[in-house]
Structure formats: C-alpha cells, structure tokens
Structure 1
Amino acid sequence: MRFHRYRPRLWGAAAFVVAASLAATTLNPQAGPPANAAEYDGVDCVVSLPGSSPTNSMLPDPFTKLDGTRISAKSEWECRRAEIKELAEDSIYGEKPGMPDSVTGSVSSSNITVNVSDQGRSASFSASVDLPSGSGPFPAVIVLGGLGADTDTIKSSGAAVINFDPYEVGQEDTSRSNKQGAFYDIYGSSSSTGLLMAWSWGVSRIIDVIEQSNGSVISTDGTGVTGCSRFGKGAFTAGAFDQRIDLTMPIESGTGGVPALRGVAQEDGAQPLSNAYSEQPWFGDVFNSYTSNPAALPVDMHEIVGMVAPRGLLIMENPHIDWLGATSGSVAALGGAEVYKALGAQENITYWSDVQDGSHCATRSEWTAPLQQSIQKFLLGTGSAPGEFRIASGASGNLSAWRNWQTPTLSDDEPTDEPTDDPTDDPTDEPTDEPTDEPTDDPSGVCTASYQTINSWSSGYQGEVTVSNNTASTLNGWSVDMTLASGQSISNLWNGDNSGTSGAITVSNVAWNGSIAPDGSTTFGFVASGSSTAPSGLTCTSP
C-alpha cells in the first residue's frame, strides 16, 4: 500500500534555478489525460455498496468493512477507505467523476489556466497565483474563495498562494435542476453532484495542470488546500477526495464540513441539516433523504477526516458562533484522529478551536504557529507537525458518548486468516508509543494503569492512560484513580466516564471497553488545561 503521508522536498542549489524568469509553462494539448493515479489509490478495490444500511445513532465504526469484519492491518485501510469514499458519495456529496478525457492548461508566475474535456463536452476556468519572495519552484496552497485564509503567513512560510474562485466550477444561488459552472457544463446542469464535490473536482484539475507543467514556477510536489466557512467545507472535501493534497486546512467549516452530522442535528444553535441542504446545493441531491434522519447515514464526518489520513490535516474552528457547530467538530476530529492513531500517524492531525476572537473567518494569532509548522512539515519537508488538540472548553464534545467501537492496533503486515478483534471482548486500543511513565500500582494486581503525554503546549496537554489486565481471566469492568496537578482541569475525556475534572478524579470504563481479555489492554484519553505535569497516584481496580 502507498501511504502518502507527505512528499518531502529535497532542496539544493539546482532546485532554485527558475527557467525563463518564471515564464509561463504551456501544456501540450495533445498530451492526453495526465497520469494521476495518486488522486485516488483505491481504484483496484472492489466495493459493493449495500442496498441499505441499518440505522445507527452512534458514529459508524471506520474500521469495520462492509462485509462486517474489521481491518487488522494497515494495508487494509486502502480498500476500507475506498468503501468510505463510495458510501460518502452515495449518501452525502454525489459522485466525483473519474479522470476526464483531457486536461490541459498553463502555469505562470501570475496565473493558472485549466481546460477540461470529457464525454464530448469542454469547459475552462482559471486561478491566480501569488508567489512568496525568494527563488522557486514553490509548493502551493490552493485557497478557495479568498475568505479567511492567512495568506501572509502562507507566503512567509515559503508557499505560493493559488487563489481559486470555486464559483467558476459550481455557482451558488442556483436550483438543483439547473446547476451552473464548469463542472456542470461538462456533467450536466441536473447532475446530482453537489457544489462541494464540484469544487473538489476543480481543485483536482488545477493539480493536474500543475503536475503536467515543468515545475519551474509551482512545485509538482507539495500541495495544500484551505478555505473558510462554505469554502472551508469545500477545502475539507477536496482534501478528503484527492490524495495528492499533502495538507488540508479547513477553517470554520460548519455543517457540511468537519462537524459530525449526527452531532449537529442535536447541538443547540448549530445549522440544521435541512437548512444547510436547502441554503445552497452544497450537498449532493441524495442527502435530502437524510436531513431528518442522520442516524440512517452509513458514514459520518469523522470518517471523512479519516479519509485524509495519514496526510497532514489542520482543522481550525470558531467556538464562539453556535451556527458553526464546533462541539460536533471536536467529536468528528477526535473520531477521525483514531484513524490517524491506528495508522501510526497521530502527529499529523491538529485541531484548534481554543481562540479568543469570535469574528467569523478572522485571521487569528493562535493559528499562526500551527499554520507555519504544518506548511513547513507537509509542504517543505522540514521541522515537525504541531500534532495538537486545542479544544475550547465551551465547545468540547465527548467522543465516548458517540461511539461503541474501539480503535484496533493495525499490524504492518498483510492480514492473516486469524479472526479480527472483537471490540466487546478483545480491546486492542493500545498506545502507538511506549508509555513515558512506568505503572504506578502493583504489577501483581488485577490491573495496572500507566500514563503518557501525547502532546503539550503552553496552556495545556493531551494525555493517555493505558489500562492493562494482568490476569489469566477476562477483566469485567475497571476504574482508575489519579490526581491532577494544581491548576489543571480536564476539558475533554474520551473512552471513559470521569467523576470530576480537577484534583483527585476517578475514570471508569464505558460500555464497550470494560471487558479486557487476558494480557489485553485498553486506553482512555483526555485534554487538560494548565501545566503539562503528569497526573500522579495512578491506581487501577476492578470489581
């Protein structure tokens, strides 16, 4: 399997030579369709969609295949992702067409032109280019709509800005039977594909043209996408459905973007599904049947987050505007982060809603550093990803209330004929790194609890506790006592029920992880404010 985590750039003196002073690169009209199999690595996976899916009020298990078995190896994620992709197209977005018959165009220091022909129809659109200082070629961030993106920081970090007007490929304020724009010029004004997928298609065609160029202006290796509000929805969709995008950065995307659809349907003040469906043809036409019954959806947005894995993802949300559903956004991000964790790439996802300014699509100082770090890591191949979850205390969702599945430990090998793990009696949600602290209770006891810090920052940290069964019998129920340092307070905890948020607290199992097989283990995680001092006095007991 190809794990497209990011594509590091190799910088050298020769790489900085720009031919013809950044002159335009025009593609050969006879070149034919570009070879861009990396847009979607699941083309060889056989996906047979079910006629219907059972109603499920919880977030669907991203690790359970359509045949009912769970994946056990990282190599299986490619085809499981293909299933999620087709389920999402079939129930949320509408279909993203395959590679067009022909894509041609040009790349210059100021402009990109795109010409597409497919099924006997043609359309064209363009995007402007804003280069940073210095010598290229430059990686680039495609900015949808120009709203809310911190283009100054993007350029100062060493990336070009490609300003793409999504309305050129899919216009708003049209009826669903008369959609307009380059996408619909080719695939029909009555196409059932919604604007979010049409915009995603436009981003992919821009990348086609960049990849066909000689790379003297825009690097053919290192692409990001971002946008705010409705364009945040589009950027999120584009990153999920094109695996050539190394860094996806949705901003305040709201309903139809990152927030879990099941969550926003219950979150006070969040934009209702029916309202988002009727406001604009963002969703595919098929989504109409789910607006009053999201529990019938076969997928949810945590799995779309998972589709981006293991590539770079920086989610920026505004907790001050109820309409944006930031609480449900944190739930989807935490759920999707479990996919990153299973793939061994948990450092590649960052979520940040802990901001002071409540203005919609404002440029925020809190996001400057993680934006710079993400661009440097995933587009320039230098430094480290931020890898943080900074969840605002007033918009902190509880993942444990939304799932009844556990995260498997995926092997690096091909799956064997051994049965897959059963989330009810064989939890395998083990940490990907060795715990930094030894268990503090007696290892001869029934169970032990050990702690590790996953991430830390100036005003808080993310921690994880592993609960291990030390007996030869299945453990039925557990609880962990621990004491937080002075000034610390838990703002979010998942995979457990906690008795308090500060000082001495007790965390007990939830329904699906109370049963631990002999020599097995499970985990719970939390985000806390205050210093990053590790909790003390961890003890584990079982009834």
Structure 2
Amino acid sequence: MTRSGRSKNRSTVVVLAVVALAAAAAVADIPRAGTAHAAPFASAVENEGAGCAVPALPDAGSLPTNARLPDPFQRLDGTRIASRADWRCQRELTRRLAERFVYGEKPAKPTVSGTVSRTGITVNTSHQGRSSSFSAKVDLPSGTGPFPAVIVYGSFGGDTATIKASGAAVISYDPYAVGKEGTGRANKQGAFYTLYGSSSSTGLLMSWAWGVSRIIDVIEQSGGTILKADATGVTGCSRFGKGAFVAGAFDQRIALTMPIESGSAGVPIFRGIPGEGAQSLSSAYGEQPWLGDAFGTFTGGPARLPIDTHQVVGLVAPRGLLIMDNPHIANLGPRSASVAALGGAEVYRALGAGENITYWSDVQDGSHCANRAEWRTPLQQSIQKFLLGTGSAPGAMRISSRAQGNLAEWRTWQTPTLPAGPEPTPTVTATPTPTVTPEPTPTPTPTSEPTPTTDPGAVCTATTSVQQWNGGFVVSVRVTAGSAAIRGWDVGLTLPGGAAITNVWNAERSAASGAVRLSNVAWNGALAAGQATELGFQATGTGSGISATCTAR
C-alpha cells in the first residue's frame, strides 16, 4: 500500500503456526541439516543450500523477455530437476536469483549475541569492526514454557489473544529499527545499514528479514528455556506483510510464514500487477526502498525478470505458508496474489507437501488489515496443527470470486512428478494437492509404473468433505481401493438443485450439475490394494448433503 508511517488504527489479524509433519513419508527424504525438531519442517539452519554449486547468474542486460511465469523446476541450462533431492540446490538457485534481481543480498550471519527474558529480547551484532543493536518485546502466554513464538512485524496483533490462549508467545518486532523508511536509497538507515553501509543495494524488506533471522539466532543461543528456536512463525500486514513474506522465504528455520494483504512488492506476481490496476511497480519501488536497487530496471518491464513471486512462495516449501488477502482492494493486487499462491502451490505439490499451503481471500469485510471472522478458524487450525502438533491444517485455496486468478493463463510448464530419491521409483504415487484449488491441476507426466493385476471383484470407496461459504463450496473426495488392486475408478454423486461445478482437479467430469460422474485421469487411476488418491471440485450454490459412490474399473 502507499501509506507511509505506522497506522494507529488498523487492526491486523496475526497468525502463527509452526508446520508439523503433515506428509512425513512424502518429504522425509528432503535433505535437512541438524537433528530432529518438534517442528519437522523447520530446518536447523538458516539456509540449507548454502553449499550448493550454483552456476554464474545472467546479467540483467542479457535477460530474455518472458511474459509467462518462469518454470520453478528448470535449471539455468534448461534441464529440469528430476527428484525431490534435487530441490535443495534448485531452491538455492531460486534464492540467489531473487537476491540478485529483486530484493538485494541477505548477508550471512554476522557475530550475534543477546539475551532472552520473559519480557524482551536484545540483539547485538557486529561485522568487520561495526556493531549495531535492536530489541523486541516478548509477551508470554500462561504456563511454564518453553514456548513457541510468532514474530509480529510492526507490533500489530489483532488476534494475539488467540495466539497466547493457544500457548504461543508473541514477539513484537519493530522493523524500522533495522531498516528505516523515509530514507533515500543512498542513505539507508537502521541496524542493518549500520553494519553493511548506508548505500547498500539491499532493500528494506531483506534488511527486515535479516533482523528476524538475528532474533532467531539469539533465541537459539538462549538455550530454549523460555522460547523454542525451532518453533517460530512470522507475520505482518500491508508493508509488514511484504516483510513477513520475504522473512519466511529466506530463513528455513521459520516454520510458518503468514503475510497479510501484502500488495505490490509482496505476494502478487510482478507480471500480473500492470494489468490488474494494483499499485504500480514503479510506485512501489519509489515509495520506499523496499525492493533492492537492482529491481529498478524492471519496474517498466517485469517480463524480463528471470524470477517471479510464485517462486518466492516456492522458497517457503515445504514449510507452512498461510497467505491472507483482501479481494476488495484492487490496489493490493489480489488477483495476482492468487496466481502466485497457485503457482507456488505446485512446488509444494511436487514436494509432497500440498497440505502445507493455504491462500484465503474469501472475506466479506473490505477494510485494509481488519480482523476477519473468516480467518479465525484457519488461524486456530494452524496454531493447533503446526505449533502444537494436534488437529488438522487448513490446506485450502479459498479464493474470492471478486479477484480469482487463473494460473493456466500464466504458465507453459507442467508440474513434474518428483520421486523421493535421485532415481524414479516404479510405485504408484498419489500426489497430494491443496484441499481447494480454483482451477484444474495440469496432468503431470506419469512415472513408469507397473500395471496392477485387477481382481474381477475389486471395489473402491469414496468419502467426501464439503467446505461451504457464501455463494459457493468445495468438495474434496478421497477414493480408496479395497482389498484388491484396481485399474481405474468412477465416482458418482448428485449436486443439489442450483449448484454447478466451476472447476475440477485430479478427475474428469461428465457434467456440471445434477448427476455427475467423476472419472480418474491417466496418472491416478491405478491403485494398489488399500491405496487412496484425492480429487475434488469447486462449485457455486449450496453443497449440503452431498455423498458419493465409487465403482472400480
């Protein structure tokens, strides 16, 4: 947004979670440094790919124009990654492209010391003879601890009572102490720029992310008697939503990232902003030095960027990500934000962690950074699942029809099936997807797999789960093979009067209303005995009372 300074009257929904092992078997092979953690998707290190050999990055002047979103699975030489084990170094390539062309460099950890008390955190840093310090307030819940915590940008906490009541601490972080707004690009100020120079080409968003990482450093050094270093979330709204997004993307110790209504320079894809009527890239670049200096050459031509924000979403994978957006304010770029979430969700899906990303713009109140009743349940679910290790995560794509993007219009690539190891496996794998998606999931290229022998008496079952909101609903269907393998399946169901399917994924449909048959696609029909796969659809109207039957083929 184009406001400067801190708003004294806006109320921000703050969400917190630390991702739990929602798909343990699917992602257990992803390289991870350090020992096991209570929050399995939170790494023990800030950047797991620091040791990867990344080829020389292209110069800005040699970048080709590409109006579509870059392929997040493609290397610089044009080849694509082939397994989940390849993702660590592909992620590092993406990370460096984002630093080089968008945000500016995030320096490696300097010398850090500090203290953690029940009321505050102090951070002291030094680098090449320079030193700087900043602090943050701590608000603990009841109990003895140690506690998980969420770092709240700008001291906004519209729902901090829920966070604390769920057993989590709130860390109020002032990003302006680390990177001050209202300064020119050649005279940046704050704790970060005291260490690295006032003319540093690194933008404020990355400097703020650096400050979050230094807070986590101090929590780690404190011994974990008050706060848990491996159970940290980060959130913020508006400009602070931009900051929270970048912080989560660039520190793998953050278990859940929660940007709210982040707008241009936040979640929305850069390529979509000019056509949506959102705050222009030149305006966002010029309003504050949020983005790195190098981004200035792309404000009038984002199609030359070798990266876009769907890939920044992918940097968070497979850790938890809850994006909350406002479809009522075009200046925030909500349509472009939904495309970024859908594109990034393909990275999550390829890593077998589709449940760990949620995008939610289906809200009625159009006020910027307001408390929203629609977010209360996913907030509570996230706290319970990702921070406390109980319950179920939202894992949904609740995109308002007011600002619904279409990923198919923005990509030419398909999501690969990434096997668990360096070589493809011959087993049938049912790839999980986010619970709700507003467009068909492209059919991935199937891996070589044996055809199961079908018992003439083979059967299957279908169970449904319905999510209803004002004017529409989503049905998730789980198909499970019986005691014998099956070659294919058909799911039959009847929609209530007035209901009509708008999108379907992981299946082919026979009709949009009335009696509907959902049939398998090429890659998810063959199921071994007892194996399951998931499909679903989005529809208008009311979805109450929907049940399904399954017929094996």
TM-score by length of 2: 0.76
Do 2:463 and 2:547's aligned partners in 1 also have CA atoms closer than 8 Å?
no
> Using the alignment, how far apart are the partners of 1:216 and 1:536 within structure 2?
51
Do 1:315 and 1:351's aligned partners in 2 also have CA atoms closer than 8 Å?
yes
The aligned counterpart of 2:87 is 77
Aligned mate of 1:323, from 321, 328, 331 = 331
> Using the alignment, how far apart are the partners of 2:362 and 2:461 within structure 1?
25
1:343 counterpart letter in structure 2: L
Do 1:453 and 1:461's aligned partners in 2 also have CA atoms closer than 8 Å?
no
Instruction: For 1:415-426, list aligned pairs within 5 A.
Output: 415=423
Q: Secondary structure at the match of 2:170?
A: strand
The aligned counterpart of 2:186 is 177
Q: Does 1:142 align with 2:151?
A: yes
Instruction: For 1:12-161, list aligned pairs within 5 A.
Output: 38-48=45-55, 49-51=57-59, 52-100=62-110, 102-147=111-156, 149-161=158-170
Instruction: For 1:213-252, list aligned pairs within 5 A.
Output: 213-252=222-261
Unpaired stretches in structure 1, ≥5 consecutive residues = 11-35, 419-425, 432-437, 439-449, 467-480, 508-512, 539-543
The aligned counterpart of 2:171 is 162
Change (3 A) 1:352 1:430: farther
2:293 counterpart letter in structure 1: D
Q: CA deviation at 1:378?
A: 1.8
Do 2:274 and 2:280's aligned partners in 1 also have CA atoms closer than 8 Å?
yes
> Using the alignment, how far apart are the partners of 1:186 and 1:345 within structure 2?
38
The aligned counterpart of 1:2 is 31
> Using the alignment, how far apart are the partners of 1:255 and 1:382 within structure 2?
35
Q: Higher mean Cα deviation, 405-414 or 382-391?
A: 382-391
The aligned counterpart of 1:31 is none
> Using the alignment, how far apart are the partners of 1:496 and 1:271 within structure 2?
38
> Using the alignment, how far apart are the partners of 1:174 and 1:483 within structure 2?
61
The aligned counterpart of 1:259 is 268
Q: Secondary structure at the match of 1:248?
A: strand
Instruction: For 1:318-397, list aligned pairs within 5 A.
Output: 318-397=326-405
Change (3 A) 1:326 1:497: farther
Do 1:142 and 1:161's aligned partners in 2 also have CA atoms closer than 8 Å?
yes
Q: CA deviation at 1:456?
A: 4.1
Do 1:389 and 1:462's aligned partners in 2 also have CA atoms closer than 8 Å?
no
> Using the alignment, how far apart are the partners of 1:69 and 1:339 within structure 2?
16
Q: Secondary structure at the match of 1:38?
A: coil
Q: Secondary structure at the match of 2:322?
A: strand
> Using the alignment, how far apart are the partners of 2:501 and 2:266 within structure 1?
27
Q: Higher mean Cα deviation, 141-150 or 486-495?
A: 486-495
1:426-464 CA distance string (max 9 Å, x none): 963569xxxxxx9xxxxxxxxxxx998897423322659
1:373-417 CA distance string (max 9 Å, x none): 112222222222111111111111111111111111110111479
The aligned counterpart of 2:436 is none
- Identical counterparts, % of pairs: 60
The aligned counterpart of 2:417 is 409
Unpaired stretches in structure 2, ≥5 consecutive residues = 1-29, 427-441, 448-453, 455-459, 480-491, 527-533
TM-score by length of 1: 0.78
1:131 counterpart letter in structure 2: L
> Using the alignment, how far apart are the partners of 1:230 and 1:451 within structure 2?
48
Change (3 A) 1:416 1:210: same
Q: Secondary structure at the match of 1:314?
A: strand
The aligned counterpart of 1:428 is 444
> Using the alignment, how far apart are the partners of 1:72 and 1:457 within structure 2?
35
Change (3 A) 1:155 1:501: farther
1:57-98 CA distance string (max 9 Å, x none): 111111111121111210001011001000111111000001
Do 1:9 and 1:221's aligned partners in 2 also have CA atoms closer than 8 Å?
yes
The aligned counterpart of 1:531 is 543
> Using the alignment, how far apart are the partners of 2:291 and 2:134 within structure 1?
22
> Using the alignment, how far apart are the partners of 1:299 and 1:166 within structure 2?
26
Do 1:239 and 1:308's aligned partners in 2 also have CA atoms closer than 8 Å?
yes
1:41 counterpart letter in structure 2: E
> Using the alignment, how far apart are the partners of 1:272 and 1:494 within structure 2?
33
1:120-162 CA distance string (max 9 Å, x none): 2110000000111222111000000123652112111211000
Change (3 A) 1:79 1:174: same
